[in-house]
Amino acid sequence: MNATPETTAAPVGGASAAQGDVTRRDIEAVERALIDQSARGPVLTFFTTAIFWLLVSVVLGYIASKKLHSPDFILGPEWLYKLLHIRSIVNPIFEHLTYGRVWPAYTTAMIYGWCSLAGMGVATWLIGRLTRVSIKAPAVLQFGAWFWNAGVAVAVITILCGYNSGLEYFEMHRAARLCLFIGYLFIGIWGLILFRYRRQSTPFISVWYLAAAFFLFPWFFGTTEVLSSMPLAGVMKNVVNAWYQNGLFNLWLGCIGLATAYYLIPKVINRPIYSYNLASIGFWSWIFLGGLTAMTRLSGGPVPAYLVTLSIAASILMIIPIATLTVNFVRTMKGHTGLMASSPTLRFTFVGTIFFSIAAALNVFSALRSVDSYTHFTSWAHGQLHLVTMGFFSMVMFGAIYYITPRLVGCEWLSRTFMKLHFFGTAYGAGTIIALFLFGGLATGFVLNEPTADKMGFYNVDGIANAYMPVKTYIGYVLFGGAQLIFAFHFLLMRLRIGQPAGEPTLLETPGEGH
Amino acid sequence: MQKPSILFTGIFGAFAVSLGAMVLIPHSQLASLQPQVQWDEGANSPSDVYPQKRSVVGRDVYVAEGCFYCHTQQVRDPQYGPDMERGWGSRRTVARDYLYEDVPLLGSQRLGPDLANFGWTVKVTQKDGTEKTVSMWRDEHEDDPKKPAERNERWIYKHLFNPRAIFTDSKCPPYRFFFEKKEIGEKPSPNAVETDGKFEYVPTHEAERLADYLLSLDRTHELKESPTVIKPKEAKK
């Protein structure tokens, strides 16, 4: 009943290893290789472009972060610009790149560029694997991927040039939105077609999450697009915006990330999910409650009070999916945590799920009105954003890319040192950025709530509320960015087929080594 | 295991519940919102309508530069925070205040002060009987010797050109690209922000529109659902 495609494909016990089983296993291995081969083109396009946007977003994030503590700064060596006589070109460009333009460009590149593209790439591969259907016309997916990329490029460039819709995380120009939507239709409909022709009779829990993500995203995106162009009464646009943001993080990124974690963790440790009943409860409560927690973002604002109250109640009820998901992941991993030392996929993915639990728990915590009065209007919200995108989602995606890419290109990752450095930089860089956003937010909150706090420097560039910012820029973003540079280089080598010979996966540590 | 029909019905149900509770119900409530109108007895037209439809110029500059990533435009009830004590308004802002705004720029971060009532002024009668418009007091950089008392166009131009010329430690970025470098003609321009004898920096049309917009921000008109809480204070001379 609870058997998964993975456990049937690779039984642990050797007692029933009869002749017929071996043959079936061989057929399945060939079948999997064929499915992988059909997904190769589009999935690699998704990954490559996603990693490009990851690098773009890290650079923009660094600039945005630095602009807050030194608003006049100019990126790069000024003496070089002087030497090349391009100072008169470079300076005006950087003058235009104020925080108000770079920050939305950064979040757009990160959410729609890196996160969404990587997520769709992993999802494409996962759907192929889970439904056991090979992709018939990969060119359609490729086309969708490039359309989506064009949308992100238009969005980032227009925002940097000074276009903004005024809706947070939905800032992009209408042309960019159209590109994203058309691109999505090519990708998303393909996913649903694969699901329709699935050959796996019992859907794996990951499939539910992917179905939810792929089905809900166009509804949220399209509804927001339609509503934002309608003449609604004043604050309704803010309500729609908060609702969209919530759907984007909980039901688009959240569902894809959870689907990936639910696939990878059991797969790597070669053991089924701890409890399918828990997974089922977690899934339904997540998608029903996840759509109702939106309005804590507008707490205290000029919106009907019951909206905020309803969202606070839903946020508190979110304890149910969070607890079931966390228990399920931890219990599945129980006794296998040692594998994290050697498997990069498991290390990234499991740390990602830990970030997920922290992010979700903090959402519950800061929905409480007494906490919210200290965290509202501060960088705490940015901490939550980075917990979801940089902590949870990116970590899980890295794990998936480490798992999937060797199966597509036909060789293994070249260097375990690169992987270790990547993990180190990502975990500590993202951790630093998130922690400083959160604690900086709390510090600001205490000053903000103190009406005589002017002397404590709420407004000042080097005041108490701002003192943490250089650390975030110079340690957080530099560590994180350096790690992503190594990762991008490593991925490039893989695409050039420079790596270890196929067969044995590259591990962080050979089992038995060390201790 | 669940059938796909149940799965998709459930997922769509989740979306419908979310859309209904978070968007459609508040819409049905807010769609009928009208401006507050006061009719004097026997009058042919209302004596007082708030908020009024007005063509807001310069709002697009505020949006394009992403000012709303650091500045909110909402004053909250005292139970949520000391917004009013900081001089940011005399009452909490409510949905009616944003009736005619396309996307109300409520903002989500306070890296700088709230601007909901940036252009808040009162008319005072001076000793000699003439009326004078005075900006209301705000708490930002209260002890800063550079802080001017009057918030007018010149204040905004100076701040846009170099925020640290107005507030010593401001973290607001400078907007030099809102200014044109011009040779001084017969007389220096009245709005020039910096001059070195031969050249001066004159605000462009964008800067003028942004200044108009900022000075038009005043949401202190008393409303039935949101009475005045704090009596206004005038700016120090």
On whether both A380 and A468 belong to a single domain, the answer is yes
Alpha-helical regions (H) of A229-275: 236-246, 254-269
On whether both A344 and A274 belong to a single domain, the answer is no
What is the predicted pLDDT for the residue at A178? Answer: 95
- For chain A, percent of residues with pLDDT exceeding 90: 60
Q: What residue type is A146 in one-letter code?
A: W
Residue bearing the bigger pLDDT, A400 or A81: A400
Selection from A81-85, B81-85, B233-237 with the highest mean pLDDT = B81-85
Residue B2 pLDDT level (bands cut at 50, 70, 90): low
Q: How many domains does chain A have?
A: 3
Q: Is B210 on the interface with A (CB under 8 A)?
A: no
The residue among A172, A201, A230 that closes a domain is: A201
What is the predicted pLDDT for the residue at B236? Answer: 55
At residue A177, what are phi and psi to the nearest 5 degrees?
A: -60, -40
Mean pLDDT of B26-49: 88
Residue of A nearest to B27 (CA): A236
Task: State yes or no: pLDDT of A402 exceeds 70.
Answer: yes
| Beta-carbon separation of B1 and A202 below 8 A | yes
On whether both A245 and A137 belong to a single domain, the answer is no
The residue among A143, A170, A201 that closes a domain is: A201
Answer whether residue A515 is part of any domain. no
Instruction: Find out whether A35 and A126 touch, Cβ atoms under 8 Å.
Output: no
What is the predicted pLDDT for the residue at B235? Answer: 64
Answer whether residue A56 is part of any domain. yes
pLDDT (tens digit per residue) in A162-188: 899 999 999 999 999 999 999 999 998
The end-to-end CA distance of chain A, in Å, is: 39
- Residue recorded with tokens 């005072």: B124
What is the predicted pLDDT for the residue at A462? Answer: 64
CB burial of A303-312 (b: ≥16 within 10 Å; e: otherwise) equals: bbeebbebbb
Tokens linked to A289 = 């409650």
Task: State yes or no: pLDDT of A452 exceeds 70.
Answer: no
What is the predicted pLDDT for the residue at A233? Answer: 75
Residue of A nearest to B77 (CA): A300
Q: How far apart are the C-alpha atoms of A374 and A121, rounded to whole Å?
A: 39
Answer whether residue A33 is part of any domain. yes
Burial class, A154, CB count within 10 angstroms (exposed 0-12 / middle 13-18 / buried 19+)? buried
On whether both A413 and A426 belong to a single domain, the answer is yes
What is the predicted pLDDT for the residue at A200? Answer: 65
Q: How far apart are the C-alpha atoms of A69 and A286, rounded to whole Å?
A: 38
Tokens linked to B15 = 């979306």
Pairs of residues, one from chain A and one from chain B, whose beta carbons lie less than 8 Å apart:
232
Q: How far apart are the C-alpha atoms of B15 and B8, rounded to whole Å?
A: 11
| Beta-carbon separation of B11 and A211 below 8 A | yes
On whether both A155 and A215 belong to a single domain, the answer is no
On whether both A51 and A66 belong to a single domain, the answer is yes
- C-alpha B138: how far from chain center: 13
CB burial of A265-280 (b: ≥16 within 10 Å; e: otherwise) equals: bbbbbebebbbbebbe
Residue of B nearest to A287 (CA): B14
Residue A344 pLDDT level (bands cut at 50, 70, 90): very high
Distance between A207 CA and the closest CA of chain B, angstroms: 10
On whether both A461 and A343 belong to a single domain, the answer is yes
DSSP string, A305-317: HHHHHHHHHHHHH
B contact test, residue of A236, A372, A464 with most B CBs within 10 A: A236
Mean pLDDT of A11-16: 41
Q: Is B95 on the interface with A (CB under 8 A)?
A: yes
What is the predicted pLDDT for the residue at A58? Answer: 96
Task: State yes or no: pLDDT of A444 exceeds 50.
Answer: yes
Q: Is B147 on the interface with A (CB under 8 A)?
A: no
What is the predicted pLDDT for the residue at A55? Answer: 97
Strand B48-50 vs strand B121-125: parallel, antiparallel, or unpaired? unpaired
Burial class, A338, CB count within 10 angstroms (exposed 0-12 / middle 13-18 / buried 19+)? exposed
Residue whose C-alpha is closest to residue A224's, from A168, A303, A157, A304: A168
Q: How far apart are the C-alpha atoms of A212 and A224, rounded to whole Å?
A: 18
Answer whether residue A383 is part of any domain. yes
pLDDT (tens digit per residue) in A194-252: 777 777 655 578 889 998 999 999 999 999 999 988 888 789 999 999 999 999 999 99
SS3 for A133-145 is CCCCCHHHHHHHH
Task: Say which range, A232-236, A402-406, A485-489, has the weakest mean pLDDT.
Answer: A232-236
Q: How many CA atoms lie within 13 A of A464 on its CB side?
A: 14
B contact test, residue of A96, A97, A164 with most B CBs within 10 A: A164
Mean pLDDT of A112-133: 92
| Beta-carbon separation of B142 and A301 below 8 A | no
pLDDT (tens digit per residue) in A100-122: 999 999 999 999 999 999 999 99
Answer whether residue A279 is part of any domain. yes
Q: How far apart are the C-alpha atoms of A190 and A193, rounded to whole Å?
A: 5
Mean pLDDT of B156-183: 88
Task: State yes or no: pLDDT of A398 exceeds 60.
Answer: yes
Residue A20 pLDDT level (bands cut at 50, 70, 90): low
Q: How far apart are the C-alpha atoms of A217 and A374, rounded to whole Å?
A: 32
Mean pLDDT of B118-144: 83
What is the predicted pLDDT for the residue at A453? Answer: 53
Residue A123 pLDDT level (bands cut at 50, 70, 90): very high
On whether both A271 and A384 belong to a single domain, the answer is no
Residue B175 pLDDT level (bands cut at 50, 70, 90): very high
Mean pLDDT, chain A, as a whole number? 87
- Chain A residues with beta carbon closer than 8 angstroms to that of B1: 202-203
Residue of B nearest to A219 (CA): B15
What is the predicted pLDDT for the residue at B149? Answer: 74
What is the predicted pLDDT for the residue at A337? Answer: 85
Mean pLDDT of A5-30: 55
Q: How far apart are the C-alpha atoms of A168 and A239, rounded to whole Å?
A: 11
What is the predicted pLDDT for the residue at A147? Answer: 94
User: Which residues span the domain enclosing A215?
Assistant: 207-297+318-331
Measured CA distances, A88 to A71, A328, A369 (Å) = 19, 58, 50
Task: State yes or no: pLDDT of A254 exceeds 70.
Answer: yes
What is the predicted pLDDT for the residue at A454? Answer: 54
Answer whether residue A1 is part of any domain. no
> For residue B202, what is the enclosing H or E element?
strand B199-203
Task: State yes or no: pLDDT of A287 exceeds 60.
Answer: yes
Selection from A84-88, A107-111, B29-33, B84-88 with the highest mean pLDDT = A107-111
On whether both A484 and A399 belong to a single domain, the answer is yes
On whether both A126 and A149 belong to a single domain, the answer is yes
What is the predicted pLDDT for the residue at A464? Answer: 65
Q: Is B97 on the interface with A (CB under 8 A)?
A: yes
3-class DSSP state of B132: strand
Measured CA distances, A117 to A71, A131, A293, A299 (Å) = 32, 21, 25, 32
CATH code at B51-216: 1.10.760
At residue A24, what are phi and psi to the nearest 5 degrees?
A: -65, -40
Residue A3 pLDDT level (bands cut at 50, 70, 90): very low
The CATH number of residue A53's host domain is 1.20.210.10
Answer whether residue A302 is part of any domain. no
Tokens linked to A421 = 């450095």
| Beta-carbon separation of A238 and B106 below 8 A | yes
Mean pLDDT, chain B, as a whole number? 87
Tell which phi-psi region holds residue A29, choosing left (phi > 0), alpha (psi between -120 and 50) or beta: alpha
Task: Say which range, A90-94, A116-120, A153-157, B178-182, has the weakest mean pLDDT.
Answer: A90-94
Task: State yes or no: pLDDT of A13 exceeds 50.
Answer: no
What is the predicted pLDDT for the residue at B144? Answer: 77
pTM score, whole prediction: 0.92
On whether both A355 and A498 belong to a single domain, the answer is yes
Mean pLDDT of B196-219: 90
On whether both A268 and A327 belong to a single domain, the answer is yes
- Residue recorded with tokens 């990878």: A264
Residue whose C-alpha is closest to residue A48's, from A130, A104, A120, A134: A120
What is the predicted pLDDT for the residue at A512? Answer: 55
